[in-house]
Amino acid sequence: MQNFTFSNPTKIIFGKAVVAKLAPEAAKAGKSALLVYGGGSIKKNGVYDVLTGALAKEGITITEHHGVKPNPVLSHVRAGIKKARESNCDIIIAAGGGSVIDEAKAIAAGVRFSGDVWDFFSGKAQIREALPLFTALTLPATGSEMNSGCVVTNEETAQKFSAMGPALFPRVSVLDPETTMTLPRAQVANGAVDSIAHLIEGYFTTKDADVEVTDEIVHALARSVIASTGRILKDPSDYNARASMMWSATLALNGLATCGYGGMNFINHAIEHALSALYDIAHGAGLAIVMPAWFRHHLETAGPARLEKFGAAVFGTKTAEEAITAFEDFFRKTGAPVRLSEAKIPAADIPRIAANAMGLIRMWGMKHEQPEIEKILNKAK
Amino acid sequence: MQNFTFSNPTKIIFGKAVVAKLAPEAAKAGKSALLVYGGGSIKKNGVYDVLTGALAKEGITITEHHGVKPNPVLSHVRAGIKKARESNCDIIIAAGGGSVIDEAKAIAAGVRFSGDVWDFFSGKAQIREALPLFTALTLPATGSEMNSGCVVTNEETAQKFSAMGPALFPRVSVLDPETTMTLPRAQVANGAVDSIAHLIEGYFTTKDADVEVTDEIVHALARSVIASTGRILKDPSDYNARASMMWSATLALNGLATCGYGGMNFINHAIEHALSALYDIAHGAGLAIVMPAWFRHHLETAGPARLEKFGAAVFGTKTAEEAITAFEDFFRKTGAPVRLSEAKIPAADIPRIAANAMGLIRMWGMKHEQPEIEKILNKAK
């Protein structure tokens, strides 16, 4: 077990009818909010009305910044920074899924920075401060509601890069599982796959395979995601399944699932970021394509031990091959694509995808070269 | 799944040679520390020298307050408050196990309070503020290093009561598993039993049995405690087992293991507090006596469902009876007593123990009467 630091100051308010509770929390930090949201689903599921009503009651003025894309783009982040500055916003409120929260984080950091916000993503600058951020989560998937990272795509350079910093932890996040009841089936699938991806990256790339407690936590959360997703697909109105899924997804990327693993990398994410930077594909769907291929590569290069352990604990499988098949079966069951061809991405594009992925791989200091990435992608044809 | 709030601001620095890292963290909050510790084990295991050296390097002056008892007593807490006031201490540093940290919390709250510190425990006053607290943990068991509660015994009234408040969260806790290598075997056992007790209280008294994610986390942490303890008993120098045990014990009572359970009670703790208030018995040993008896009572009154689920996931047992036996076997294996007689507590004292327990049961607002507590204790003869 390797040394680690765990520190997560985000306060979570979880359950039925908790959305309005965000307003008094936000009022402690400011009086002028930039309200960040996406394509308008929060107007259909009631979150918009409840939240804006509660904010008004606290005397908080609202500047709206909506239209965040599923993979948030730099130009829209810049527009949000401009808007927040013009309105003298002193807090940022995000209402939506991980993309909305990620864009809100980039804006929160950008407003307080004299340089260009992309500098945080390209590695030219470090995030020193940010406006206080509050979130109302409506899509369990990315864990952004309780971590200090964000991912933004630069449309000009087709780079989907990430930025991190303790200042980006949301102060408070409200998680109401009822707001997830109306999610389209594809988004349920993407969220499940994304959560699994967060759980497996550390587990399978750890420099230390003797971390009993964290292995157990990863197994526990993976089992919960898989069981809850199965229940949701069977009965979308199953509140307890929605609730377990929502909290599992948060815990999958709040720091808990990697404690003690020491050196690790986000190889599946790096490859997937290339897919969603280049194609109109959801992050979860891209991950469902990359992961089985990477597992096969992992088996060839690192041996069966970790796949066997994970498979036995989570799927009840015996061999590494059976574990990979079980992953694939689960992704298929959710309706996610598990091959490039199923997402209509031509195999001829593999060198281009791999070249794009290398940008992030170098940025993150990971030791992989383009031929290896192409080899992995060839297993996803 | 019931609504909940999760908020835990304590920063954990975990691993080999991390003790000295507490000093620069403490220096951010103050310059004059009350250093609280117990009977001197920190002088044998090197923690004292490392910590005082690092604090001196930061220019922090130290007032020593040692001799904390395994079940910390009110008179010693009061002495600590007096000392901290006389020395104008602006931070409290605890080095030791849960008892040391609990006493340090009571002192931290007491220094800032004009009334009597026992008012926090008797329910007469609420903790509004406390001196910043920093801890170096040397005994994995209570979770006090990452929660906002503390337990103190009033020797005059033989009441072992608790106090809580967000101000009591340690700012930073350093957890070095190497400092636990020299723990006597009985303390390893007590820590293991205490951690299991924290995990089972919520799980078995939940008002909501459909909380997939938290059930999985409880199973995971219990499996980790049991596996790690087994390894430690076999090879006390097994660092990775020590590390997994230490982090598991912290997570067992940092809020994570009860999320969504809603109404729950600490019945085993309430009964055990009576034992260690009245007899010279370690908290963990007392719990190992109470839990099997309470499980048998739980089976009679609540049915086998939760015992079956826990047993299957953690011990691989089928029936509730088998699960109870597996608990007992684990406690026995650690060397803990599992009957009152094994701890030389006479059965004739049961009414007196039950009467004492009723004090805490009423304080905590739990719905149990003395005949039920006696009935449980009779199963522990």
Chain segment B26-67, per-residue pLDDT in tens: 999 999 999 999 998 999 999 999 999 999 999 999 999 999
Residue B239 sits in the same domain as residue B209: yes
- As a whole-number percent, the residues of chain B with pLDDT over 90 amount to 94
Residues A88-142 have pLDDT tens digits of 999 999 999 999 999 999 999 999 999 999 999 999 999 999 999 999 999 999 9
Which chain B residues contact residue A174 at CB under 8 A? none
CB contact set of B274 (below 8 Å; sequence gap of 6+) = B160, B353, B354, B356, B357, B359, B360
Contact B55, B23 (CB under 8 A): yes
Which chain B residues contact residue A11 at CB under 8 A? 5-7
Q: Which residues pair with A12 in a beta bridge?
A: A173, B6
Q: Write down the pLDDT at residue B38.
A: 97
Domain with residue A343: its CATH number is 1.20.1090.10
- On the CB side of B284, CA atoms within 13 Å amount to 28
Q: Is residue A2 part of a domain?
A: no
Distance from CA of B266 to the nearest CA of A (A): 23
Which chain A residues contact residue B313 at CB under 8 A? none
The DSSP 8-state label assigned to residue A296 in this structure reads H
Q: Check CB contact of A310 with chain B, cutoff 8 Å.
A: no
| ipTM of the modeled complex | 0.96
Residue A99 sits in the same domain as residue A189: no
Q: Which residues of chain B have pLDDT under 70?
A: none
Residue B160 sits in the same domain as residue B192: no
Mean pLDDT, rounded, for A43-68: 97
Element holding B324 (H helix, E strand) = helix B320-334
Nearest CA to A157 out of A361, A359, A373 is that of A359
> Which one of B178, B194, B213 terminates a domain?
B178
Residue A205 sits in the same domain as residue A315: yes
E-strand spans in A46-199?
61-65, 91-96, 133-137, 149-154, 159-164, 172-175
Within A303-368, residue ranges assigned H as helices are 305-314, 320-334, 350-363
Q: Is residue B1 part of a domain?
A: no
Domain with residue B78: its CATH number is 3.40.50.1970
Which chain B residues contact residue A224 at CB under 8 A? 212-213, 216
Residue A225 sits in the same domain as residue A358: yes
The three-state secondary structure class of B67 is coil
Residue A145 sits in the same domain as residue A248: no
Domain that holds residue B198: 183-378
Element holding B101 (H helix, E strand) = helix B98-111
Q: Write down the pLDDT at residue A227.
A: 98
Q: Write down the pLDDT at residue A265.
A: 84
Which chain B residues contact residue A7 at CB under 8 A? 10-12
pLDDT score of A348 more than 80: yes
Q: Write down the pLDDT at residue A274.
A: 95
Q: Check CB contact of A251 with chain B, cutoff 8 Å.
A: yes
Which chain B residues contact residue A243 at CB under 8 A? 1, 211, 213, 260
Residue A130 sits in the same domain as residue A193: no
Residue A190 sits in the same domain as residue A169: no
Angle (CA) B326-B331-B335 rounded to 5° is 140
Q: Is residue A371 part of a domain?
A: yes
Among the partner residues A11, A15, A211, nearest to B3 by beta-carbon distance: A15
Contact A224 B240 (CB under 8 A): no
pLDDT score of A333 more than 90: yes
Residue B42 sits in the same domain as residue B173: yes
Q: Check CB contact of A126 with chain B, cutoff 8 Å.
A: no
Contact A1 B244 (CB under 8 A): yes
Residues A231-275 have pLDDT tens digits of 999 999 999 999 999 999 999 999 999 999 997 789 999 999 999
Q: Is residue A246 part of a domain?
A: yes
pLDDT score of A54 more than 80: yes
E-strand spans in chain B?
4-6, 11-14, 32-37, 61-65, 91-96, 133-137, 149-154, 159-164, 172-175
> Which one of B158, B178, B198 terminates a domain?
B178
What letters, b where the CB count within 10 A reaches 16 and e where it falls short, cover B312-328?
A: ebbbebeebbbbbbbbb
Residue A82 sits in the same domain as residue A146: yes
- As a whole-number percent, the residues of chain A with pLDDT over 90 amount to 94
Which chain A residues contact residue B239 at CB under 8 A? 1
Q: Which residues pair with A64 in a beta bridge?
A: A35
Contact B213 A248 (CB under 8 A): yes
Q: Is residue A327 part of a domain?
A: yes
Domain count, chain B: 2
* CA atoms of A231 and A188, how far apart (whole Å): 11
Q: Is residue B4 part of a domain?
A: no
Q: Write down the pLDDT at residue A264.
A: 77
Q: Which residues pair with A164 in a beta bridge?
A: A149
Question: What residue in B sits closest to A229 (Cα-Cα)?
Answer: B212
- As a whole-number percent, the residues of chain A with pLDDT over 70 amount to 100
Nearest CA to B255 out of A135, A169, A251 is that of A251
Angle (CA) B36-B41-B44 rounded to 5° is 120
Give the amino acid at B80: G
Find the length of chain A.
Answer: 381
> Which one of B178, B199, B216 terminates a domain?
B178
Nearest CA to A335 out of A217, A224, A210, A233 is that of A233
Contact B221, B247 (CB under 8 A): no
Q: Is residue B3 part of a domain?
A: no
User: Which is it for the CA torsion B296, B298, B304, B308, positive or negative?
Assistant: negative
Residue A198 sits in the same domain as residue A123: no
Q: Check CB contact of A143 with chain B, cutoff 8 Å.
A: no
Q: Check CB contact of A312 with chain B, cutoff 8 Å.
A: no
Q: Is residue B329 part of a domain?
A: yes
pLDDT score of A71 more than 90: no
Among the partner residues A5, A213, A223, nearest to B244 by beta-carbon distance: A213
Structure tokens at B203: 């799980």
Contact A244 B177 (CB under 8 A): no
- When scoring A12, A212, A245 by the number of chain B Cβ atoms within 10 A, the one with the most, hence best to mutate, is A212
Among the partner residues B6, B243, B251, nearest to A1 by beta-carbon distance: B243
Residue B263 sits in the same domain as residue B234: yes
